[in-house]
Amino acid sequence: METRISIGKPHNRIDGPLKATGRAPYAADYPAADLVHGVIVSSSIASGRITAIDTSAARRIPGVIDVLSHVHRPHMSSNGVRYKDTAGPPGTPYRPLFDERVLFAGQPVALVLAETYEAARDAAALVDVRYEEASFETDLAKAEAASYEPETKRSGVSPPPASRGDAAAAYVESTHKVAAVYLTSPEYHNAMELFATTVVWHRDETLTVYDKTQGSQNVHLYLTLALGMRRKDSTVVNAYVGGAFGSGLRPSHGVFLATFAARHLKRSVRVVLTRSQMFAMTSRPQAIQSLSLACDAHGHLQAVRHHAVAATSTYEDQQEVVVNWSGLAYTCANADFSYQLAKLSTPTPGDMRAPGAATGTFALECAMDELAVACSIDPVQLRLANWIDRDQNQDLPITSKALRECYEQAGARFRWSERRAEPRSMRDGRELIGWGMAGGAWDAGLAPLPTRARVTWRTDGRLEVAAGASDIGTGTYTILAQIAAEAFGIPVGGVDVRLGDSTLPLNPVEGGSWMAATTGAAVAKACELLKSTLLRKAYRLAGVSRRKSTVAFEGGRLKGERFAADGLSIEDILREHGTDIAETATILPPLFESKHVSYAHSAVFAEVRIDDDLGVLRATRIVIAVAAGRILNPKTARSQILGSVVMGVGKALHEEGVYDHRFGKVMNHSFADYHVPTNADIFDIDAIFVEEHDDEVSPLGVKGVGEVGIVAVAPAIANAIYHATGRRIRSIPITVDKVLGLT
């Protein structure tokens, strides 16, 4: 008896019509009676202390209710531990309006509260803050001298792997070798939706907090501890999120200030950050990487040495997995790794799509291209010559690795075999043409925390899926509906999905590309539990024994030899039961040391065209092949890969936070000056999913696709630029001045 197939089909997003028609409410859209508007006043210095705040002019603006600051505010806990969140690194988190200290430029120093947004905005411009400045450093090149290895490791972030062999001696003795320094700039997430919070104050003095976040339950826990509330005092909702890319993993200072103010005024409050203020939240940390590779005459790696210094703030030790990728990508018996931090007077950097991997892979894959040139081997063949099926860092087998097929399929689609190896050997009129490639990997598997989901057959005939997970535009609503629909043999349209609410079953923050694998597995498990419950009730209703028999769920009915020819309706079971029937399931992370590791893999082939006289460059063609286990929805998965590639193009060619180190400020803090790729910058992107079966990585055989698509894009483009020009550029973004050799 066949069931309706939903998994693996390119279903449209079930939330698409709401978003396309403007009916999907985002954090700043929720209505609230008697709403107060809050506008943040940001610090104008990078380090020091506030000596005075004059709010008299601001308070004279009609409609202004109050101006909160460290000298005028409700009580706050002095215990820094209470401000920690589940996604934060070691250190003492920033506490908005806590004291007179200024830790970074753009830090909130006051919050103006008014009856209208316009009044709050105008009054904020009149708050006069006086400072005593202190010395600071925002230049990583200067701070590198004081870099250090963090004493406390960040939870969930693996430290550099242990050295193996004698990399220094092997490097000296090798036939071919390269050594270079690679620089990556700070990047800012710049999702379309501004960070915003609407806090609705209820008569019973409870709060509903509508927030832009990647984890409603993480924010709920943070607010509960930081503000000394009971858990039942608030509910956090993030049903729809207009992009975040990692910037919403930690609670924003906006959600704290809005909730703080609502409790102070006993009124509903909305705080919306400006685009400029979002540059004072977090960013992908800039890094300086020294990488040395050596091989024999046949291209077999003899030595790998990778050292990285990454930026962090003065008050927390942000950490990422950067150098580890050089230890697991290719076979090498002699390897040495180190990873250090350097403190800057900036906000704590944060995770941004494929954190650490997009940084470390840029250096590694560019160095591999340099080594291929040094030993006159095709870049693909060099990678295949150093193929490995085992993770050398942990000495564990890899559950599946279809990267070879990624190279083959993407290379064939790209026509890599037609490439002429010599730099500057391919052109079209005045344009130089360059072809480059790179490979990449990203962690695959389950979330590191317990994950729950509830599935309910409701008396109105609808199947409901509920989980505290977040959908930040990735298609989570849709894939969870597909999983439940297939389990019960009903159309996807027959499933309602509830996400983004702190009262729903426990889920970790949306990150790490683990949502589909983990929450999806919890939904599938809950469906099986619910099917068992319905089957028991069906036997009782039909008056038959519960002996083992074949039963199928199809179209809202149970069909099998124990029932009538047309089966038994779930509606009849619910009518007899009298209420909804629900089951909840939990997926646990591995409780013991794993016997294997899992990664998703990608291969990227890129074409660039560069004006030989002007240096203007375009990434005109990109082919990416991805091996990510079972693909639940090729349409939404393809969208994730396309988005990743676009962000990779931005990393390679456009995105750079430019500091004026005299003032410690990001100077290009707007869409006018900080360039993210737009339609005019993006050309042909061809995404391929390589078939890959993996029954060990997760219960559904799923690997996440949200991040693996970005990791190899920047190095592939950088390698293509070398092939086009003969100029090796080791700092990104690669801009016209660098192509022309002016910087």
Residue 15's pLDDT is 96
The token pair at 648 is 């990779």
pLDDT in tens, 670-721: 999 999 999 999 999 999 999 999 999 999 999 999 999 999 999 999 999 9
Provide the pLDDT for residue 428.
Answer: 97
| Contacting residues for 62 by C-beta, under 8 A, at least 6 apart | 119
Mean pLDDT value across the chain: 96
Helix/strand/coil for 270: strand
The CA–CA distances, whole Å, from 453 to 510, 584, 614 equal 14, 6, 56
Q: In the prediction, which pLDDT does 565 show? A: 81
Other C-beta atoms closer than 10 Å to the C-beta of 118 total 13
| 367 DSSP assignment | H
Could you give the count of Cα atoms lying within 13 Å of 261 in the half-sphere of its Cβ? 32
Q: What is the pLDDT of residues 47-58, one digit of tens each?
A: 999 999 999 999
Q: Please determine, for residue 1, whether its predicted confidence score (pLDDT) is greater than 70.
A: no
At 343-396, the pLDDT tens digits run: 999 999 999 999 999 999 999 999 999 999 999 999 999 999 999 999 999 999
What does the alpha-carbon distance between residue 428 and residue 717 come to, in Å, rounded to a whole number?
18
Q: Which two tokens stand for residue 172?
A: 């000296």
Rounded mean pLDDT, 142-151 = 97
The mean pLDDT of 548-568, rounded to a whole number, is: 86
Give the whole-angstrom CA distance, residue 460 versus residue 580: 9
CB 674 within 8 A of CB 188: yes
**Banded model confidence at residue 549, pLDDT cuts 50, 70, 90:** confident
Amino acid occupying residue 189:
H
| Chain segment 482-523, per-residue pLDDT in tens | 999 999 999 999 999 999 999 999 999 999 999 999 999 999
Euclidean distance between the first and final Cα of the chain, in Å? 68
Task: Calculate mean pLDDT across residues 140-162.
Answer: 96
H or E element that contains 334:
none
pLDDT in tens, 635-674: 999 999 999 999 999 999 999 999 999 999 999 999 999 9
707 is a catalytic site residue: yes
Residue 129: pLDDT band with limits 50, 70, 90:
very high
∠701-707-709 over CA atoms, to 5°? Answer: 95
Would you say residue 569 has pLDDT above 80?
yes
Amino acid of residue 151: E
Residue 550 is predicted with a pLDDT of 83
- pLDDT tops 90 at residue 251: yes
In the chain, what are the domains? Answer: 16-23+447-587 (3.30.365.10), 36-135+192-243+248-278 (3.90.1170.50), 145-187+283-445+595-739 (3.30.365.10)
Q: Residue 456: what pLDDT?
A: 98
Q: Give the range among 347-361, 390-404, 579-593, 714-728 with minimum mean pLDDT.
A: 579-593
Average pLDDT over residues 178-186: 98
Q: Between residues 694 and 564, which one has the greater pLDDT?
A: 694
Q: What percent of the chain has pLDDT over 70?
A: 99
Question: Residue 561 has what pLDDT?
Answer: 81
Q: Which of 298-302, 421-425, 571-575 is least confident?
A: 571-575
The residue from 193, 370, 607, 707 that is catalytic is 707
Q: What is the DSSP string of 80-130?
A: GGGG--TT--SB----TTSSSEE-STT-EEEEEEESSHHHHHHHHTT-EEE
| DSSP letter string, 157-210 | -PPPPPPBS-HHHHHHH-SEEEEEEEEE--B----SSPPEEEEEEPTTS-EEEE
For residue 546, pLDDT beyond 80:
no
pLDDT digits (tens, 9 = 90+) for 297-333: 999 999 999 999 999 999 999 999 999 999 999 999 9
Q: Which of 250, 440, 211, 228 is nearest to 351 (CA)?
A: 250
pTM of the model: 0.97
Is residue 185 very low, low, confident or very high in pLDDT (cuts 50, 70, 90)? Answer: very high
Residue 706 pLDDT: 94
pLDDT at residue 2 in the model: 42
Q: Spell out the residues 6+ positions from residue 619 whose beta carbon is closer than 8 angstroms to its own.
A: 606, 607, 608, 649, 652, 653, 681, 682, 683, 717, 720
Residue type, 14: I
Helix (H, G, I), strand (E, B) or coil at 300: coil
